[in-house]
Structure 1
């Protein structure tokens, strides 16, 4: 059915029309009423934007026994697809004691399946349909109160090097800490702590990062957000659009990329680059946006600091790096 297709871009679905499976006499039968969830992603950012996109329909389709997803990959045990996402479903009130999650690895027969349009996604779908925004804002972390510092800097410095980031982010962290910010590494905290921290924050400064999708869903309308572009992708556009729609105002956008580093002799993969930022320009933009006190200035890193950072990243990636100037 066309309603079962999954979308990422406006050009067309990312799913294919399937061939009918061969009749299987021993096919598992899922009794009851189920919501079709679309494609189940392991990556948290894609999970938030694409796997959750049909949950809004739970407000409209009546009682269901659970959600059945298409598994993105084949695994021996289907629970491996979603066990790390169970805290998210629990944070929505969809706990395992009353709500089943399935990602079948073989054909199943479902007694009744409710199909709904995706209400959220990346690119053209990042703002979310009103039903989806209302559902998430009413349910996500509904039992979690605000708990954390008022000023946070969301860091990528402890993520694997292949994820891409900026060089010398620890220098940015130090300067933000000097200004009274707490450095926050989302991946080091469980979902409840992340939700509580974002709810408590009144100023958030971050590189463009998938953790911002969660923050945009739950922060206070009064919270001020600044996002630093970290490279040659256009991912920052999604975060700006999401916050603008969900929060009712645009975040401060900071463009300060001087160039990017990537493995020598290889094709540039935009998501895996490490940028150098114009730190005095970053500081100027943060002061202008009210994120740093007036009169605050940042010095540019020395050549020795930059060379050391490039060498360290080269060691982490196991190959020399080359530089591409400007935002391409």
Structure 2
């Protein structure tokens, strides 16, 4: 039974499809990990229904004991994989098999499982906006076992972590379909901030000060979560420059941004996710991305294993120099926060998280493998 996915972003997915008759789809019944769910034919597990999160060699599901179907769905359906209630994971993991829809008119719907610690109805509601933008046939997040006349199982061509670069057909379908959304404006410059997110979901130290610096450079400071997904896509399609703190909005930019859009990503956690997101953007947009990892200080609670509670302070003079060299900013260089500004920023984080923060050295941080399934990216 296959236990790994190829990592070559140039490797075509063409032909990596299996179609089976009379498939039984069994969603998770409990919170165990790996998630107990999968597809069966004739009582035997179908290897192509293994799903992958951030690692190509470790499926996030295992096959449970088959359970009797509660209903039957007539027609042909595409197996979509596992939907996450986490926005970023939903974007990259929930779209990884949709490439198989290209050129097909016989697919009656897309069938997903939900993570056992997410509610199926919540995942269905969250994914509905993306499904509409992509023009998908009806999407169902299964809460009970079903059988179908025919099931299409396509190789997963996109995911989180090391699967973030995607495969050619998966990248093409997403970009081609979102390219049909009319751009809102032209030549717009955006700074994507996380200042509207809870501090426990991760942010940089002193982000509000950076917002003011970018606004003075003519950037529109936006909190994407305040807009419907269709509006986000339209705005990003009108962008010539996008800078922001590493996180989920960059997945949407990768899928929807115009070729040639200049992108810079500010590191917010000591995690491989930062480099993965930068590479993800380069493969989708087809151009270089400016990664901003210049750090002035790091603050964290005394004991933590959560990378989202480790707060990096960007080195503003070094940030400005890198951005100026890449054509994002001009004028006078930026200065770092004063000691008073830093104390105020730390106090705000400590109050919100109820955690005392202390300066730490990078080498003293806990090892982080980028497994953010429970984090909010």
Task: Report the TM-score when normalising by structure 1.
Answer: 0.91
Q: How many residues align?
A: 318
Give the secondary-structure state (helix, strand or coil) at the position aligned to 1:151.
strand
| Residue in 2 that maps onto 1:326 | 362
**Per-residue deviation at 1:10?**
2.5
Distance 2:138 2:194 in 1: 33
Give the alignment's Cα RMSD to 1 decimal. Answer: 1.8
| Residue in 2 that maps onto 1:69 | 112
CA contact (8 A) 1:144 1:192 kept: no
2:347 corresponds to 1:311: yes
CA contact (8 A) 1:231 1:260 kept: no
Give the secondary-structure state (helix, strand or coil) at the position aligned to 1:111.
strand
**Per-residue deviation at 1:319?**
2.5
**Per-residue deviation at 1:207?**
1.4
Task: Report the TM-score when normalising by structure 2.
Answer: 0.80
Within the candidate set 307, 312, 316, 1:275 is matched to 312
**Per-residue deviation at 1:17?**
2.1
Distance 2:286 2:224 in 1: 24
Give the secondary-structure state (helix, strand or coil) at the position aligned to 2:340.
helix
Q: Deviations over 1:123-142 (max 9, x none)?
A: 33222111111111111252
Distance 2:157 2:57 in 1: 17
| Residue in 2 that maps onto 1:205 | 243
| Residue in 1 that maps onto 2:132 | 90
Q: Deviations over 1:166-201 (max 9, x none)?
A: 111000000111111110110011111111111111
Within the candidate set 42, 53, 69, 2:96 is matched to 53
Q: Which runs of 5+ in 1 are unaligned?
A: none
Distance 2:343 2:186 in 1: 36
**Per-residue deviation at 1:148?**
6.4
Distance 2:293 2:181 in 1: 37
Q: Deviations over 1:292-313 (max 9, x none)?
A: 11x4211111111101111111
**Per-residue deviation at 1:249?**
1.7
Distance 2:358 2:186 in 1: 40
Within the candidate set 65, 76, 79, 1:33 is matched to 76
Q: Which runs of 5+ in 2 are unaligned?
A: 1-45, 366-377
Distance 2:186 2:354 in 1: 37
2:236 corresponds to 1:190: no
Distance 2:160 2:185 in 1: 29
Within the candidate set 277, 289, 292, 2:329 is matched to 292
